[in-house]
Amino acid sequence: MLKSALGAGLLNFPWAFQKAGGVTTAVAVEMVSLVFLISGLVILGYASSVSRQKTYQDVVREVCGQAVGQLCEVCFCFNLFMICVAFLVVVQDQLEKLCISLYETVTGSSEGEMPYHWYTDQRFALFIMCLIIILPLSIPKEIGIQKYTSVLGTLAATYLCVAVIVKYYLMDSHTVIITPEHSQGSVWALLTAANHIHSASPGVFGFMTFGRAVASDILMSYPGNDVVMIISRLLFGISIITIYPIILLLGRSVILNLMLRIQRRRWGIVTPSFESRCRVVLTVIWITITLLIAMFVPDMGEVISVIGGISAFFIFIFPVFTMQTETVTPRISLRLTAVVGLQQVWRMSSGNGTRRKVKMQQFNDVVASDPETQTEIQGLFSKVRTYVKPSNGEWRIPDPNTALRHTVEERCRLQALKVSLNDVKNQLSDMNVQVWHQHTNSTNRAGKVIAVVRSAVNAEICTQAWCKFYEILGTFNLLPDEALQSGELNTVHLCEAPGAFIAALNHYIKTSESTRYCDWSWAANTLNPYHEANGGSTTIADDRLIANTLPWWFFGSDNTGNIMIQKHLLELKAFVSNMRRVDLVTADGSFDCQENPDEQEALVASLHYCEVTAALLLLSPSGSFVLKMFTLYEHSVCLLYLLNCCFHSVNVFKPATSKAGNSEVYVVCLNYDGKEAVRPLLSKLIRNYGPHLADREALFPNKLVPESFLKQHDEVCSYFHTLQVETITENLRLFEGMSTEQRQRLDHIRDCTAHEYLQRFQVSFLPRGRWVSRNTVSPACCSVSGGRPLGQRKQTGSFNERRELQTLTWRERIERGFHATWIQRHRTEAGGTGCVLEGPLSEYHVDSWYVIVGAALPALRNSPFCEGGLLNHLNEALMDTGKDWTRAPCCDSCHVVCTASILSSVAGVCDFKGDSDGNRKRRQCMVFGSRAVWGACESQIEDLVLIFSAEPSFPQRGCDTLHDGEPLYQQQLLGCVVFSLQTLNSGDALLLPLFSALTRVTAAVVLCLHVCFRSVTFRYPPPSGVVGTVLVCVGFRAEAAARILPVLTDVHNCMSQLLKEVEGKSESSGWDRQVLQFVPMEELLTGGLTEFLWTMNSEIIQQKLHLLMQS
């Protein structure tokens, strides 16, 4: 680009000198501008080294943030667009001169005698040139030949410099007017464009040749029959034609990347055909518009003025933004401030960045002083054992016919290790788990790594899992060379919630030299935290990453995300089929085994088998696989042997950031042989795939596992057994008492380990704008309660105390639990009045709503709109009592909201504006409920006309733990809403009884009411005869309802159709499928809806538990 643009800019230099007011003024201004330009480059150079970005717009985006980065991209794109216009104007001018010179040479006539024909018009010739030459050169995705043809720009520039100087000295006389005509007001914008492309000699001699008569294109000032300048015109014409596609490519890439980001955010993938269509359309539009402007704005000076003004942003404004935003140490800040002082007298601010640099410096000063400490720290990062395959090739995949046919045979030595380890762990059974965790955290050598990484490098979702995976990435060559060389990396992450592996990989890719420019695509799977049937003990409720990246997460057609279902595995294979190859699969799955720690390996065995099967199915040849495992004494033996047969290298690794007292290890498998070798066995594994894959027969009989492998495996198990036993023993010893010297030594080692982690793995700072998540959606886990993750029960007491707690009744567990006081208190006043959804909601996207139909919910075990511990208490109570709580008598000590107060509050906020005669306008209030309950107060509310309709029927007996998830109840509830939206007039009100809003469907119903009404609140405890709560909706907006009614009608019809499918079936068969969601989770988690539902559901559950406790 520079080679060709250099010459094109020289054409305008003499004209810029004329606009500046002469040679002296122009050269002076140019020298001052040079200072500005150099100082800006110094600032940008420093910002580039800190942000580790290599392009102008990337530096600005990285340092100044997304908003300034987008402004820079707009200016960058517009500047390139106008440069393209300038190029076409230059070509058009040269075509005109060439046409005239050819006419004069061939006919011998003068320019004034030249007849006009449309086909001789330079604009027609320019159109043909764009159509035949420029368009075909510009459409390809990559333009490589221009790096050779662009040398014509250098040749043209050199030729022009010599020609202009020679022409000046060959002139007969130098009597042109060169006195100033213009003030310096517009000098800066004009010379800014010139400064981009250097060299004052053509400007000086060109201006002195023609003076104030110089044209904006210097070649237009020379006669058309001048052979020397005809050659120059040809050189410039060819060079500009070849450089135009490069300029177009740069500008198009900015717009195209934006379109692809939007497409990927909306649909999850970007197909090659979509990219190709967008590229062609953008190219045609770009060339068409620049061609039209070049035809109808023929004055080169006007175009150059625009380019110069925009270019000023790149010299003056963005570098200063960069300096103001980039964080620097005081010393460098002083130097750069001196440079900027030459440019503008603006104050520089170091801000928080200085503190961050100081923190980094403090950790850099921590060095292990004695050899013993150094050895201990190095040992933390060296806990790895690698299997070595024998050269005779005896480690081969056994005959598939022998797989899954023989009973499990235990190896005596490994069982002895298991018994030994359990004996040591049993010493912890009476330890209070919270006290013990606090102690082991303080003795954990790598305990400070997470805090240091979080503060020093701005890691996204900086958890222990993040640090462990970054350590794995820094220890092994996990990313295949083939992927890095091709610049395309595709990864799949199983059992990934909350997404720390993805965040760590993103950090590694964005900050490492070898991967920074990789085109990375990823897909992930985990148990869906929004699926109401997923249990709290197996589902991670932390959705910080999931909520903002939902299109990249695969939950299967049943929407559960359960990787242990065969259909789900095959659907996942289809989901990632758009990836050309899969280079890396990670599997970080586990269950909560703290209630049965002795059998952790057996509990997770089937999950590990499913994860390995999925990896072997998904991975491409030479790919890598990372699997979290625990002890390797039983089912894991055959699994490790299988992995050794399928991969060139298998390593068992205990990261330094993995707590040394647990059994967790990571199996790192490198260089996959491919599916062909394992295909017969893989087919059998898929046929037997499921949650009981490892519960029955052994994967292989012991006799088919070579003794050479078993010997190595025994050594691996012994090594990690020793490490774990030594750590637990040390922690027990230190728990009894720790001297001041021991405490100081431990703290020193912890500081040195954190320093070693940063240095060893070269962890660099990553700005928030480069994170995976843009944080546009508030995750359910942090929407309320000050960011406390929801749905997770912390372990309390000792192991033996927790086992005793399991033998208690549900009442006794509540009385001993955290919620006891809150559940048992009596309600003394009405609730819900202060919790209001102010509407109507305007930020919703009904066009993007879609229906998810999945397996019918057997029970509600989880909800993003309720605290998990409360829901567990309620489910236990309902299952243990076997009572119909809806018929339980009211508590005499609790306040009950009367219907009169609800109707009075509705009348108090309704709009009764009168007509032109001053008469008050009456409003309707649709009440779903019994006239016997609500009608007694009707005469007391003069301006409110009550319309009664049947309320939804409560969930059937036997569906207690379904709550509002029963399909029939949801269908009737939505039917009530549809009916009310069709019936009400603007300004009317609605009273709707609600059982609860724990499911996504019911939450979406509340959102729809939020869209259609000015305010939505609830009243609790509800009037006698009403179960759950009453939604009070005031200020109906008919125009808003009209937008969503078609969608709600379709959803209601879908629900009705699904209910018809079960008609005629036996009562025991129940529902097979139901609507699980019809509003995207991104919208359900936006605004104040989550907190509203959280508060309402908590009050409803408290009421239910309170009545059950009283009964």
**DSSP characters for 506-520?**
HHHHHH-TTTTT-EE
Highest mean pLDDT out of 491-495, 701-705, 1017-1021, 1087-1091: 491-495
Strand partners, 923: 944
Which residues lie below 8 Å from residue 130, measured CB to CB, with a gap of 6+? 88, 287, 291
More confident residue, 732 or 806: 732
C-alpha 539/C-alpha 533 separation (Å) is 10
Average pLDDT estimate for 790-797 = 46
In the predicted model, is pLDDT for residue 474 greater than 80?
yes
573-596 burial, b for 16+ CB within 10 Å, e for fewer? eebbeebebbbbbbbbbbeebeee
More confident residue, 709 or 255: 709
Strand, coil or helix: what is 175?
coil
CA geometry: angle at 268 spanning 265 and 274, to 5°? 90
917/593: higher pLDDT: 593
- State the burial class of residue 110 (Cβ atoms within 10 Å of its Cβ: 0-12, 13-18, 19+): exposed
Left, alpha or beta for 268 (phi > 0: left; psi -120 to 50: alpha)?
left
Domain ranges (residues) in the chain: 2-332, 384-436+459-526+561-741, 814-1110
Examine the pLDDT at 38 and tell me if it is beyond 50: yes
pLDDT mean across residues, the chain: 80
Give the percent of the chain with pLDDT over 70.
75
Burial readout 1075-1092 (b: 16 or more C-beta within 10 A, e: otherwise) = bbbbbbbbbbbbbbbbbb
Question: Is pLDDT larger for residue 1107 or for residue 1033?
Answer: 1033
Evaluate if residue 762 carries a pLDDT over 80: yes
Helix (H) or strand (E) holding 1016: strand 1013-1019
The CA distance from 717 to 886, in Å, is 56
Tell me which of 19, 357, 510, 628 is the catalytic residue: 628
Instruction: Determine phi and psi for 1027, rounding to 5 degrees.
Output: -100, 140
User: Annotated binding residues for S-adenosyl-L-methionine, as ranges?
Assistant: 499, 520, 588
CB 541 within 8 A of CB 532: no
Residues 612, 586: Cα–Cα separation, whole Å: 10
Res 935: pLDDT:
74
Looking at residue 66, its amino acid is: Q
Contact call for residues 689 and 569 (beta carbons, < 8 A)? yes
- Give 107's contacts (C-beta < 8 A, 6+ positions apart): none
Secondary structure element (H or E) that encloses residue 1036, with its range: strand 1029-1036
Indicate whether 1049 pLDDT > 90: yes
- Report the pLDDT value the prediction gives residue 198, as an integer from 0 to 100: 44
Dist CA 308 CA 660 (whole Å)? 62
Q: In angstroms, how far is CA 179 from the centroid of its own chain?
A: 61
Q: Which residue has the higher pLDDT, 331 or 121?
A: 121
Please tell me the distance from the alpha carbon of residue 674 to that of residue 238, in angstroms, as a whole number.
Answer: 51
d(Cα 193, Cα 525) in Å, to the nearest integer?
A: 52
Higher pLDDT, 114 or 849: 849
Average pLDDT over residues 482-494: 94
> For 260-264, 318-322, 369-373, 384-388, which range has the lowest pLDDT when averaged over its residues?
318-322
Listed in sequence order, the DSSP H helices in 941-1037 are 967-983, 1000-1012
The more confidently predicted of residues 741 and 303 is 741
Do 513 and 485 contact (CB within 8 A), yes or no?
no
pLDDT at 188: 41
- Residue 6: predicted pLDDT: 45
With beta carbons less than 8 A apart as the criterion, state whether 60 and 321 touch. Answer: yes
- Which structure tokens are listed for 935? 């009608």
pLDDT of residue 60: 77
Across 331-487, the runs of DSSP E, i.e. the strands, are 384-386
At 17 the pLDDT is: 60
Q: Looking at 106-110, 324-328, 806-810, 836-840, which range is the least confident one?
A: 324-328
Nearest to 1007 by CA among 952, 910, 1083, 1077: 1083
Return the higher-pLDDT residue of 933 and 369.
933
327 in Cβ contact with 350 (< 8 Å): yes
Whether the per-residue pLDDT at 879 is higher than 70: the answer is yes
The answer for residues whose C-beta is within 8 angstroms of residue 197's C-beta and 6 or more apart is 5, 6, 8, 9, 10
Q: What is the pLDDT of residue 14?
A: 64
Provide the Cα torsion 315, 319, 320, 325; round to 10°.
160
Q: Has residue 33 got a pLDDT over 90?
A: no
Count the alpha carbons within 13 Å of 1090 in the hemisphere toward its beta carbon. 23
Q: Using H for helix, E for strand and C for coil, what is the string for 11-51?
A: CCHHHHHHHHCCHHHHHHHHHHHHHHHHHHHHHHHHHHHHH
Give the number of C-alpha atoms closer than 13 A to the C-alpha of residue 899, restricted to the C-beta side: 22
Domain 384-436+459-526+561-741 class in CATH: alpha beta
Name the residue among 206, 202, 116 with its Cα closest to residue 159. Answer: 202
Q: What is the pLDDT of residues 637-666, one digit of tens each?
A: 999 999 999 999 999 999 999 999 999 999
Return d(Cα 814, Cα 812) in angstroms, integer. Answer: 5
> Tens digits of per-residue pLDDT, 181-220?
444 444 444 444 444 444 556 666 666 666 656 665 666 6
Whether 570 has a pLDDT exceeding 70, the answer reads yes
Whole-model pTM: value is: 0.68
Q: Is the pLDDT of residue 1093 over 90?
A: yes
* pLDDT surpassing 50 at residue 921: yes
The rounded distance, in Å, linking the Cα atoms of 123 and 655 is 68
Give the separation between CA 161 and CA 151, rounded to whole angstroms. Answer: 16
Is residue 628 annotated as a catalytic residue, yes or no?
Answer: yes
Find the range with the poorest average confidence among 117-121, 378-382, 648-652, 869-873.
117-121
Identical fold at 384-436+459-526+561-741 and 814-1110? yes
Of 583 and 271, the structure prediction assigns the larger pLDDT to: 583
Report residue 1009's pLDDT band, with 50, 70 and 90 as the boundaries.
very high
* Percentage with pLDDT > 90 across the chain: 36
Alpha-carbon distance of 1095 to 445, in angstroms, equals 42
Which residues fall in the annotated binding site? 499, 520, 588
- Tell me which of 116 and 869 has the higher pLDDT: 869
Q: Give me the residues paired with residue 1016 across strands.
A: 837, 1033
Per-residue model confidence (pLDDT) at position 542: 86
Measured CA to CA, the distance from residue 855 to residue 562 in angstroms comes to 12
Q: Residue 57 pLDDT > 60, yes or no?
A: yes
pLDDT band at 347 (very low <50, low <70, confident <90, very high): very low
Say yes or no to pLDDT of 605 above 70. yes
The stretch 692-719 carries a mean pLDDT of 92
For position 806, what pLDDT does the model report? 65
Provide mean pLDDT across the span 793-815.
Answer: 63
Could you give the CA distance from residue 305 to residue 300 in angstroms, rounded to a whole number?
Answer: 9
More confident of the two residues 419 and 1071 = 419
Q: Would you call the peptide bond into 955 cis, given omega within 30 degrees of 0 as the criterion? A: no
Residue 40 has a pLDDT of 74
Please answer whether residues 845 and 950 qualify as being in contact, where contact means their C-beta atoms are separated by less than 8 angstroms.
Answer: no
**How confident is the model at residue 355, as a pLDDT?**
37
The pLDDT score that the predictor gives to residue 264 is 65
Strand 519-525 and strand 488-494: pairing?
A: parallel
Contact 456, 363 (CB under 8 A): yes
Give the residue-averaged pLDDT of 656-684: 94
Q: Which CATH number fits domain 814-1110: 3.40.50.1240, 3.40.47.10, 3.40.50.12760, 1.10.1240.10?
A: 3.40.50.12760
pLDDT grade, residue 320 (50/70/90)?
low
pLDDT band at 357 (very low <50, low <70, confident <90, very high): very low
Question: What does the longest C-alpha to C-alpha distance in the chain come to?
Answer: 117
Is the predicted pLDDT of residue 512 greater than 60, yes or no? yes
pLDDT at 288: 92
Is the predicted pLDDT of residue 478 greater than 80, yes or no? yes
Instruction: Give the pLDDT score at 579.
Output: 94
Mind listing the pLDDT tens digit for each residue in 375-434?
A: 999 999 999 999 999 999 899 999 999 988 888 888 899 999 999 999 998 888 888 888
Question: Of 90-94, 390-394, 913-917, which range is least confident?
Answer: 913-917
DSSP code for 930:
-
pLDDT at 657: 96
Q: Distance from first CA to last CA of the chain, Å, rounded?
A: 82
pLDDT at 803: 63
